[in-house]
Amino acid sequence: MKEYDIIVIGAGAGTKLVTPPSQIGKRVAVFEKESPGGTCLNRGCIPSKMIIYPSEIIRASEEAEKFPVRFPAKPVADISHIFQRVNATVKADSDSIPIAYDKNPNIDFYPRKATFKSGKVLTDGADEYTAKHIFVATGTRPSIPKIPGLENTPYWTSREALQGNPFPKSLIIIGAGFISLELGAAYHAYGTKVQAVTRAEILKHADLEIREELAKHLPFPIESHFKIESVEYENQEFTLRGIDATGQKRSFQAERLLIAAGVEANTDDLGLEHTRIQTHGAGFLRVNNFLETDEPGVYAFGDVIGRYFFRHSANFEGEYLFENLYLKEKMEAIKYPPMPEAVFTHPQIASVGFTEEELVTKKIPYYKGKNPYSSSATGMARMSNSGFVKVLVSKETEQVLGAHIIGDEASNLIHQIVLGMYLKARLDDYLGMIYIHPAISEITRNAFRKVREEKKKAK
């Protein structure tokens, strides 16, 4: 049996427990059955944004007429070149990870699957491995709904959609969450006829007013509350049939079908039955407030525990484990700071903290300030006809409880509020600082001014 200080299963977010511990003398083994870098590098954040950004340039040129700025011809994207660049860049980054590990005498990289043989013993089918600490960071994969006719068709998941080969003239998407809204908007901008369907609400977890604004400015058509009855694939074309919100039977045809209907944990092939590790929901690993599973010494973090599904949250959890297990004398329970999120669709969306509906349900008193993009100097310059910043401030502490933004640069604009929440800034702090005029951040300032107005009315 090979013994290590640390074993990591998953070379995505799991890398947070590979190189840093090795630099303080820990012997580390890392197992990865796919390409190093995980979902974010290979099948998620990075390739999707590399595909989305050029599509935003096309969309900006199409919207320039209102200024009016006219182009002599419609922009043409070399789609094949864009996807080749994305795939080459991702592969180069992924390939560089084991090369770096090979140069480190404290790291052994095993490009194969590891499963539990017992609580603290792993096997790759040939050898056995053990360590004082084992970290599971195996992430998730797309969840495939059980739809009559879907099985054995050449449907896409995000993995195939990010390859873009062959690039379709038409696309049906099942789902209306992050992946659907981001990739659907990009494909639509590149000229694909996109149609999405979802059995529930569009971006169902978002604040209600965000969803309402998004519904007015969807980047492509989406049928919500749609009950899918069947999928067929004949003559290189998909046909999706179902019943819409009014009870009418509908059908959609397209060259490709993308499944973006949620995720499930990559835990079914880990041999958990040989351990005390418990799961919940769609196979997510149960952990305590120290990110430890029910098997002492075995920890888990990232998407596989089902708390948050962001690389930035997984990085935070990995850094927490490294610091608390190896740099501090005593472990402290994990405390998450405000966790922001963004949807890189059009219009862009960003959120942090509670939604207004959650505050109402929890009966937490709050002030609301909502300011449209158009009610600012930058909004006037951009001729913004949509978008807003919404802040929810505690009546008790006057600290921000939640913030929700839809519009240009939302993912950047939210960070001022995230920092304020982290530092426990109060309403007067946001109002007392000086904002550059006429920067986009004045929209945030104006939202806080609306809170001040509401506070005065309440007195």
Could you tell me if 17 and 321 are in contact, meaning their C-beta atoms sit under 8 angstroms apart?
A: yes
- Please tell me the distance from the alpha carbon of residue 220 to that of residue 190, in angstroms, as a whole number: 12
**Residue of 77, 11, 90, 100 whose CA lies nearest to 43:** 90
Residue at token pair 């969450």: 177
Q: Cβ contacts of residue 394 below 8 Å, gap of 6+?
A: 364, 365, 366, 367, 400, 401
- Please tell me the distance from the alpha carbon of residue 322 to that of residue 137, in angstroms, as a whole number: 14
Cα 57-183-189 angle, rounded to 5 deg: 35
> Binding site for NAD(+), residues?
175-182, 262
Work out the end-to-end distance of the chain between its first and last CA atoms, rounded to an integer number of angstroms.
Answer: 71
- Please tell me the distance from the alpha carbon of residue 382 to that of residue 240, in angstroms, as a whole number: 39
Hey, is 416 helix, strand or coil? Answer: helix
Beta-carbon neighbour count of residue 424 at 10 Å? Answer: 10
User: Residue 129: in which H helix or E strand, if any?
Assistant: strand 128-136
Query: What b/e sequence results for 94-111 when a residue is b if at least 16 CB atoms lie within 10 Å of its CB, and e otherwise?
Result: beebbeebeeeebbbbbe
Catalytic residue among 81, 205, 280, 437: 437
Beta-carbon neighbour count of residue 154 at 10 Å? Answer: 10
**Residue of 224, 165, 172, 214 whose CA lies nearest to 193:** 172
Q: Is 437 a residue of the active site? A: yes
- Token output for 64: 């320039």
Beta-carbon neighbour count of residue 410 at 10 Å? Answer: 24
> Binding site, residues?
49, 175-182, 262, 303
> Binding site for FAD, residues?
49, 303
Q: Annotated catalytic sites, by residue?
A: 437
